[in-house]
Structure 1
């Protein structure tokens, strides 16, 4: 059964919709936490430009990853060519997964203050698809090498599923990468977990990727980033949303995650008052502690 069918739900009536939370399965909370920690590991310098090594987090914020049997197959960081793009492709033998993780921006405050509104054609994903110019250019700069590395990893590890993940800007790249991998039918299943990702593209893009399934778009409290770039400029979010409403620094329990199966919902993150940056830095742990 798809995990979303076991999650909290929204009650829709004649009046305004309301959130009706149910406890999520502990196993699903553990999965959300695991891939949040894989996203956190992308921020750590020890996991950049040192392929063939075990993933570690010097800040101590990815114990589930450090306890797994991991090895990086490729690591990338090329600020001269790609700006802020960095990440890794790793094999997780404990969970039989290939993990493609993208690092978030190193200065979220600067990104929020200077967010751009331009879009570029992304017709190779779907007819009519348009994607934020900065995200598309960043993906295009690394796409050939990244796809080649994933193909080789799939051949070397038959039967392993692919997980693409990232926080913030990294979540935007993870979403694009997952869509492309699915279209190209590289490997078997491709699951995407993004944390605090901004709006990425137009309605055609959001609808197409949402329909691909196996997307877990996680938001937290009043995090401002998932609300950017503004919807009024033609940017839309994926569905469903998994909204974590526990506060910064609080332990997240099985009753603290609400699934909202509605595109561009006004509930969850978008319905939280006074959007801010601090909630962006806490996703089931201090996700950018290595930054």
Structure 2
């Protein structure tokens, strides 16, 4: 997995001036305990495992990222990593939940890049999202990607619920995968009455408008975890009509994890305040680490230089990566604040 640089450049091409919002009082920010941080780690590994090929996740043989969650029972997997992102569904006995996980962008695949670039806001498909107001609008590239696998994943989740008596579903993903996971969470929540659906995203871009964020806050439990100066989460810009849902957790430079209440919390302890524009951000933070887990890699594997393939069957982001030329090429067209 690369650092989603084409996602960055595609979204940046449509950015324009936006005024900063007032800072949220610091006292509203709370620090997570070590136990709270540790509770996310199994889900971080599940998100990382989505970068493995379907053949590997179908047999739960994707190396260290699979071994971190022993006992996981795979139910279905799919995708080609290009026109359809990799995904898998299974049951996690240790967490007593069905898991749905989506792969993030592989920037070597043009189809995935085009998904990221299609940042036009539009309505959700009413056949998939019945009863959702037409005021709710989402990123059409993300929506089209989620729609390709929606019914297949729903059937797999229903099979897992039936086989294991599950009452909980947790949908996870990183980057583009986090955006798809959020839409999947909304979709599954509509079609699984009596089941508690939760989404956990890592390095998630904004997915929809204010009405979407409000709808999600009212109907779904969401956590989106942002690492240090990762600037993918400030894209697409708010001036385009995009808004984050509540549920942000921001990993600070000190390593502390803080809970940032509200939507797009502008405290400097949270992402929008800490990363007001891409020039103070860092693409190297996008892949992690998230409590020691780098997306697609173990910490040890992540120290290898460059890009690496491993037995999980996927090209992975293996070293902090910056391309100053990308920033230089757009510096004359961007305002100072685009968050």
Same fold? TM cut 0.5: yes
The residue aligned with 2:337 is none
Q: State the Cα distance separating 1:160 from its structure 2 match.
A: 4.4
Pair 1:15–1:207, CA change in 2 (3 A):
closer
Aligned-pair Cα RMSD in Å: 2.6
Kindly indicate whether the alpha-carbon contact (under 8 Å) linking 1:222 and 1:270 is maintained by their aligned counterparts in 2: no
The unaligned stretches of length 5 or more in structure 2 are: 1-21, 298-313, 317-339
Structure 1 consecutive aligned stretches of length 4 or more whose deviation exceeds 6 Å: none
- Where 1:265 maps in the other structure, the secondary structure is coil
The residue aligned with 2:60 is 54
**Aligned 1:127-138 pairs, distance under 5 A:** 127=133, 128-138=135-145
Query: For 1:64, which of 62, 68, 86 is the aligned residue?
Result: 68
Distance, in Å, in 2 between the alignment partners of 1:116 and 1:19 is 38
Give the paired residue count. Answer: 262
CA deviations 1:237-268 (Å, max 9, x no partner) are: 01021111146xxxx5xxx1111111122130
Query: For 1:269, which of 268, 271, 288 is the aligned residue?
Result: 271
The residue aligned with 1:5 is none
Q: State the Cα distance separating 1:49 from its structure 2 match.
A: 3.4
Pair 1:204–1:240, CA change in 2 (3 A):
same
Q: State the TM-score, normalizing by the size of structure 2.
A: 0.70
CA deviations 1:165-190 (Å, max 9, x no partner) are: 00000000110011111122356211
Q: State the Cα distance separating 1:94 from its structure 2 match.
A: 2.5
Q: State the TM-score, normalizing by the size of structure 1.
A: 0.81
The residue aligned with 2:78 is 76
Query: For 2:287, which of 264, 281, 284 is the aligned residue?
Result: 281
Q: Larger RCO: Structure 1 or Structure 2 (Cα < 8 Å, ≥ 6 residues apart)?
A: 2
Distance, in Å, in 2 between the alignment partners of 1:145 and 1:208 is 24
Distance, in Å, in 2 between the alignment partners of 1:185 and 1:76 is 21
Kindly indicate whether the alpha-carbon contact (under 8 Å) linking 1:206 and 1:237 is maintained by their aligned counterparts in 2: yes
Distance, in Å, in 2 between the alignment partners of 1:129 and 1:20 is 28
- Where 2:142 maps in the other structure, the secondary structure is helix
- Where 1:56 maps in the other structure, the secondary structure is coil
Distance, in Å, in 1 between the alignment partners of 2:81 and 2:202 is 23
- Where 1:49 maps in the other structure, the secondary structure is helix
**Aligned 1:138-157 pairs, distance under 5 A:** 138-157=145-164
Distance, in Å, in 2 between the alignment partners of 1:236 and 1:163 is 22
Larger Cα Rg: Structure 1 or Structure 2?
Answer: 2
Q: State the Cα distance separating 1:75 from its structure 2 match.
A: 0.7
